[in-house]
Structure 1
């Protein structure tokens, strides 16, 4: 575990391709703050027990659990941790609603997503697997926490220091980051990662233009003076503005490639997805790849650069 002053990095294993999420444990005079929880599965339960022994704290010493967003690797263990610690779980109102949308047992979102992907060219056999795949995550996020809501513009005490809460959407609609103005340190969740590009996905019932939102977030956050970023995946890094520039360039290059592929009579999102990501993806990776492809195509469509048309049962995109 790496340590910086009052912050301890806690790596938690994941049973899917990201492999590891970095949680952060922040020590204060009133106890410890946990930022992001991990999944409710054996690997993360064991990792937290190892961290507890290594750092030397008991569960009642945790004074709060703060979440950057609702995705399972961040949100999943929050309810269990709340039961052990008695501490409040704090996140944005938007992301708690989306946690319910995606991970409640009675939600129809899995079926909606299967039909949505089928309309964009996913074959019927694979689309039929989407609901079961999504519901396989429910076991990793139960029990749900009883939340307290926090919002951008507020100050929050993490340890003994005050952090400004920033709304950094794109990867998730209600994504929050936490900024220590004195040290210029940013606890950024999945907003900005040092090696991989945060997944920007279009999901039914959520932000209809997530890539536009994310690019706007990058522009706004580029105005902030940041000396060190504590990300959820990868090591803490200091090349903040350079990384923002790299991500803006990455998305612009991908948009340009997609525009070239849409010349002519039109193409489905699934066909574009296969060109970008290949056609030999697991159901897990395919779900994210197709949703990210849709985020880019809808970005272009909403700005008048692509025409979107229904042909038979499928939506197609072509260059305007």
Structure 2
């Protein structure tokens, strides 16, 4: 387990493709802050017990639980940990609302998403798997926390240091990052990752232009003096501005590629997805791949590069 001054990195296993999420524990004179929690499943509960013993704290010593965003690998254990510690959970209002949209037992979002994907060309045998697949995440986020809401523009004390709260959307609408201005340290969640590109997905009922939002976030954050990034996936890294430029270039290349396909002939989002990511995908990976494809196609459409027309109930994109 790696440690930098007052910050411990806690790797937690995941039972899907990403394999590991990095949570962080920050020591202060009033107790310990946990940033992101992992999933509510045995693998992460066991990992937290090992980490707690290794760092040397009791659950009663946790003074707060802070979440960068609502995705299950970050949010899932927050309710359990709140009950265990009695500590407040702090996150953005937007992401708590989206956690309810996606993971509440009463939500119809799984059916909404299945219809949405079907309108973009997803085959029936895949479409019918979407609702049970999404509802399969409910067990990993139960119980939900009762959070206190924090907002960008203010500060939050993590350990004994003040961090500026930054709104870093694109990967999630209410995603927050935390910047220690004195040290130049950024606890960035999934905003900026050292090896993989953060998934930028178009979901019904959420940001209609997530890629545009993410690229604007990269531009805004590129002005920030950052010396070290603590990401949720991958190792702590220092090539902050270089990594931002690599991600800009990645999305430029993908946009050019998709625009080229639509110039040659009209395409559905599913066709563009298979060309980009291949067809040998699990339902989990297909959902993310298709939503990311849609984020790129809609970015092009909203900027007048493509038009969208419905043919036999399915949207097709072509050159404007």
Range class of TM-score, shorter chain: over 0.9
In 2, Cα distance between equivalents of 1:263 and 1:56: 59
In 1, Cα distance between equivalents of 2:16 and 2:316: 31
In 1, Cα distance between equivalents of 2:283 and 2:265: 29
Q: Deviations over 1:115-162 (max 9, x none)?
A: 000100100111011000000000000000000000000100000000
In 2, Cα distance between equivalents of 1:263 and 1:311: 17
SS of the equivalent of 1:316 reads: strand
The gaps in structure 2 that reach 5 residues or longer are none
In 2, Cα distance between equivalents of 1:26 and 1:287: 34
SS of the equivalent of 1:262 reads: helix
In 1, Cα distance between equivalents of 2:293 and 2:314: 15
Alignment of 1:101-112 (within 5 A): 101-112=101-112
Structure 2 match to 1:223: 223
SS of the equivalent of 1:188 reads: strand
Alignment of 1:112-261 (within 5 A): 112-261=112-261
Q: Deviations over 1:198-237 (max 9, x none)?
A: 0000000000000000000000000000000000000000
In 1, Cα distance between equivalents of 2:73 and 2:129: 22
Q: Deviations over 1:21-49 (max 9, x none)?
A: 00000000000000000000000000000
Q: Deviations over 1:240-270 (max 9, x none)?
A: 0000000000000000000110024411000
- Displacement after TM superposition at 1:7 (Å): 0.1
In 1, Cα distance between equivalents of 2:282 and 2:219: 33
In 2, Cα distance between equivalents of 1:255 and 1:134: 28
Structure 2 match to 1:31: 31
Structure 2 match to 1:54: 54
SS of the equivalent of 1:186 reads: strand
TM-score of the pair, normalised by structure 2 = 1.00
When the two chains are superposed, the root-mean-square deviation of aligned CA atoms in Å is 0.5
- Displacement after TM superposition at 1:184 (Å): 0.4
In 2, Cα distance between equivalents of 1:223 and 1:264: 38
- Displacement after TM superposition at 1:313 (Å): 1.3
- Displacement after TM superposition at 1:112 (Å): 0.3
- Displacement after TM superposition at 1:280 (Å): 1.1
The gaps in structure 1 that reach 5 residues or longer are none
Alignment of 1:62-81 (within 5 A): 62-81=62-81
In 1, Cα distance between equivalents of 2:309 and 2:131: 26
In 2, Cα distance between equivalents of 1:263 and 1:82: 52
SS of the equivalent of 1:134 reads: helix
TM-score of the pair, normalised by structure 1 = 1.00
- Displacement after TM superposition at 1:297 (Å): 0.1
In 2, Cα distance between equivalents of 1:265 and 1:65: 50
Q: Deviations over 1:55-78 (max 9, x none)?
A: 111000000000000000000000
SS of the equivalent of 1:65 reads: strand
Aligned residues: 320
In 2, Cα distance between equivalents of 1:88 and 1:127: 38
Runs ≥4 in structure 1, deviation > 3 angstroms? Answer: none
